[in-house]
Structures are given as structure tokens and as C-alpha cells.
Amino acid sequence: MRFMVIVKATKDSEAGVMPGRELIESMGRYNQQLIDAGVLKDGAGLRSSAKGARVYISGETRSVVDGPFAETKELISGYWIFDVASKEEAVEWVKRAPNPHPGADTHIEIRQMFEEADFQ
């Protein structure tokens, strides 16, 4: 089963505050554990929404709004793609993660991804 593990943004991540050396090293060790266990399929940190855009679709009409976006609590600052046997296993891996936003409450959402077989 594949799961997207979504790290929610904070005011600091949206302000472009970069992680310190200690967090980078700690996250590197955690990511290596995920790789060694065959769990990690992809992952990345995302730049702030100020560097992004949203495309709104209404019927045949498309409109584009450039960032930044106001609702920080709804934004994503990074993600992992895990391939594990169950949601419970994904939860256990996330509980081992260093806090991506030291000094702040961090919300990490775990969502199962559809597989090709789900559409047959």
C-alpha cells in the first residue's frame, strides 16, 4: 500500500525560514532508515506558496492565482511517499520522524493512495 505523508506548513516555512543543520542531519538519518527498510519511494520539501500558483477550473474556464496563499494551516511544506503493508505501519514510521518544524506544533497527515487495481 502506498501512502502520501503530508507535512503541513507553518508560518516559518511559509516565510522561507530554512531548517538548521541539526534538523537537516536528523532528517537525513531518518530518510536513510526509510530507504534501508524499502519504505521510502519519494519525498521532498516544498518552497513556500509565494513561489507557487493555483489553477482554478470552472467548466472550460481556467484562471491562475499566484501565491502566496493566506491559509498557512491548509498548505503543505513537504511530503514522503511510503510503500508499507498498512496504515498502522505508516503511522509507526511517522511517529519516528524528527519534528520537521522544531519549536512549533507540526501536523503530518497520512493518506492512502489509489492503486491501479482500485479502478478495475
Query: ω into residue 100 within 30 of 0, thus cis?
Result: no
The CATH number covering residue 89 comes to 3.30.70.1060
Confidence of residue 73 (pLDDT cuts 50, 70, 90): confident
Residue 74, burial from CB neighbour count under 10 angstroms (0-12, 13-18, 19+): exposed
pLDDT band at 113 (very low <50, low <70, confident <90, very high): very high
Query: Rounded CA gap, 9 and 15, in Å?
Result: 10
pLDDT in tens, 18-39: 999 999 999 999 999 999 999 9
User: What are the DSSP E strand ranges found in the chain?
Assistant: 2-8, 40-45, 53-58, 61-66, 76-83, 108-112
Could you give the number of structural domains in the chain?
Answer: 1
Q: What is the pLDDT of residue 70?
A: 84
Q: What is the pTM of this model?
A: 0.91
Task: Give the structural domain span for 106.
Answer: 2-115
